[in-house]
């Protein structure tokens, strides 16, 4: 199985190549977005691409968009030292299947590749998306650093809670995490927007998943208690709540 590693730093490319070759992969590399596009061709040779975000010339997000324009089912793992939840979300929305933060370890890198290859190929429509009626894209799944988050199929009996199933690749068992919406947060939104969004709404589900993904990103593990509570909201959250329309 052949992978393409794209990074402008030679020692990083070498580390990633050796790590992945010891796991049994064949690895090609490129030192820029432009070189990656030339080597990628029609994409048929590569099972996945590991792509640095910050590079001279074409950055990672722009390179990814061009790779997906050539092969819409390409599996792309973003790798960056300039990490944030916002960048991760942007990368996932643009078509990345996983996101790895530098400096990384061999285990994390191999886990991210294994997780990416475990996903069935997904074709990405590169046409501009139509604006959502709700003001935000629907939340389905977000994967960060080898973690996969899915909404639990069975609803919780607690009307203020959302339950997610978290899996850590390559061999972690699925585990549930319950994220509760603090009633004070609901009341605060109601006071500021003069409308009360029920805790079961997609708006609060989005805040719950964002809190969970942020915890996985910063801590690298599930919460010890298996529970989190949404308490804090940004100004942007309140503005979004004021115009939210659940579908």
26 — pLDDT class (breaks 50, 70, 90): very high
The pLDDT of 76-84, averaged and rounded, is 74
At 139-184, the pLDDT tens digits run 345 445 667 788 887 766 788 999 998 888 666 788 999 999 999 9
Q: Quick check: 131 pLDDT over 70?
A: no
CATH number at 157 reads: 3.30.160
Output the DSSP codes for 217-242: HHHSS--TTSEEEE----HHHHHHHH
Q: Quick check: 127 pLDDT over 60?
A: no
237 — pLDDT class (breaks 50, 70, 90): confident
> Is 197 part of any domain?
yes
Q: Quick check: 217 pLDDT over 90?
A: no
Domain around 219: 142-242
Per-residue tokens: 78: 């973003």
Q: Quick check: 126 pLDDT over 50?
A: no
Determine the Cα–Cα distance for residues 194 and 43; give it in Å rounded to an integer.
51
- If asked whether residues 112 and 159 sit together in one domain, one would say no
The pLDDT of 188-211, averaged and rounded, is 89
- If asked whether residues 171 and 75 sit together in one domain, one would say no
Q: Quick check: 244 pLDDT over 50?
A: yes
> Is 40 part of any domain?
yes
What is the pLDDT of the chain when averaged over all its residues?
82
Determine the Cα–Cα distance for residues 174 and 8; give it in Å rounded to an integer.
36
- If asked whether residues 94 and 59 sit together in one domain, one would say yes
Q: Quick check: 10 pLDDT over 80?
A: yes
- If asked whether residues 41 and 109 sit together in one domain, one would say yes
């Amino acid at each position: 199985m052949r992978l393409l590693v794209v990074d402008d730093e030679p020692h990083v490319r070498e580390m990633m190549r050796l790590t992945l070759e010891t796991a049994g992969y064949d690895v090609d590399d490129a030192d820029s977005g432009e070189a990656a596009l030339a080597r990628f061709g029609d994409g048929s040779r590569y099972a996945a691409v590991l792509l640095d975000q910050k590079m001279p010339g074409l950055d990672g997000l722009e390179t990814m968009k061009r790779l997906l324009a050539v092969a819409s089912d390409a599996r792309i793992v973003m790798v960056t030292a300039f990490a944030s939840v916002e960048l991760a979300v942007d990368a996932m929305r643009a078509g990345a299947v996983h996101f790895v933060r530098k400096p990384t370890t061999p285990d994390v890198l191999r886990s991210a590749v294994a997780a990416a290859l475990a996903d069935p190929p997904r074709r990405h429509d590169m046409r501009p998306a139509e604006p959502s009626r709700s003001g935000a894209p629907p939340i389905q799944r977000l994967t960060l650093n080898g973690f996969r988050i899915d909404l639990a199929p069975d609803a919780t009996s607690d009307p203020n809670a959302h339950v997610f199933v978290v899996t850590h690749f390559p061999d972690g068992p699925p585990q549930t995490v319950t994220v509760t919406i603090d009633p004070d947060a609901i009341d605060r939104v109601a006071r500021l927007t003069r409308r009360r969004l029920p805790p079961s709404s997609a708006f609060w589900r989005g805040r719950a998943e964002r809190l969970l993904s942020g915890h996985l990103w910063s801590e690298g593990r599930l919460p010890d208690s298996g529970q989190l509570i949404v308490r804090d909201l940004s100004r942007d959250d309140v503005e979004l709540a004021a115009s939210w329309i659940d579908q």
